[in-house]
Amino acid sequence: MSTFNISIKNAGKLYDIELESNDTGLKFKERIHELTNIPVERQKILIKGGKLNDDATVSSLNLNLKQPIMVLGTPDKGLPSKPAEKHVFIEDLNQNQLNKVGMEPSGLVNLGNTCYLNSSLQTLFQINEVTDRLSKFESTNGVNRTPTESLTVSLKGVFQQMLKKHESVNPMLFLTLFRNVYPQFAEQERGFFKQQDAEEAFSQILNALGQTLKVGDLFRLSFKTEQKCLALPEETPKIDYEDAFKLNCHINIKTNFLKDGILDGLKESIEKYNDTLQSNTEYELRRTITRLPKFLTVHFVRFFWRRDTQKKSKILRRVQFPFELDVADMLDESIKEEKVSIRDKIRKVEKENLDMIRDFKKAKNESTSNPIEQQEEENMKLLSIKSKFNDDLKQVLPSNVNLEETTENPSSVYELSAIITHSGSSADSGHYQSFVKDQNDLDGNKWWKFNDDKVSSVTREKIETLAGGGESDSALILVYKGVGL
Q: Which residue in 33, 87, 229, 431 is the catalytic one?
A: 431
Check residue 428 and report its DSSP letter. T
Instruction: Report how far residue 230's alpha carbon sits from residue 220's, in angstroms, rounded to the nearest whole number.
Output: 31
- What are the φ and ψ backbone dihedral angles of 216, each rounded to 5 degrees? -55, -40
Distance in angstroms (rounded) separating the CA atoms of residues 203 and 156: 18
User: Distance between CA 480 and CA 485 in Å, rounded?
Assistant: 11
Q: Spell out the residues 6+ positions from residue 224 whose beta carbon is closer than 8 angstroms to its own.
A: 239, 240, 241, 287, 288, 289, 290, 332, 334
* Active-site pick, 33, 115, 249, 422: 115
Q: What angle do CA 97, 101, 103 make, to 5 degrees?
A: 105
- Name the pairing type of β-strands 69-72 and 413-423: unpaired
CA 278 to chain centre: 51
Known catalytic residue at 115: yes
Q: What is Dmax (Cα atoms) for the chain?
A: 94
Contacts 24+ apart (CB under 8 A), 425-431: 425/313, 425/314, 425/316, 425/471, 426/311, 426/312, 426/313, 426/314, 427/195, 427/197, 427/303, 427/311, 427/312, 427/313, 427/314, 428/194, 428/195, 428/311, 428/312, 429/195, 430/195, 430/314, 430/471, 431/115
- Alpha-helical runs (H) found in 249-314: 258-265
Which amino acid belongs to residue 154?
S
Evaluate whether 333 touches 226 at the Cβ level (below 8 Å): no
CB-based contact 467:319 (threshold 8 Å): yes
Give 42's DSSP letter: G
Q: Helix 371-396 and helix 333-362: axis angle, to 10°?
A: 150
Instruction: Give the closest residue to 324 by CA, choosing from 350, 356, 358, 357.
Output: 350
* Closest among 479, 352, 475, 480 to 412, alpha carbons compared: 480
Q: Is 431 a residue of the active site? A: yes
Cα separation, 358 vs 350, in Å, equals 12
Length of the chain, please? 485
| Cβ contact 315:467 at 8 Å | no
Catalytic residues: 115, 431
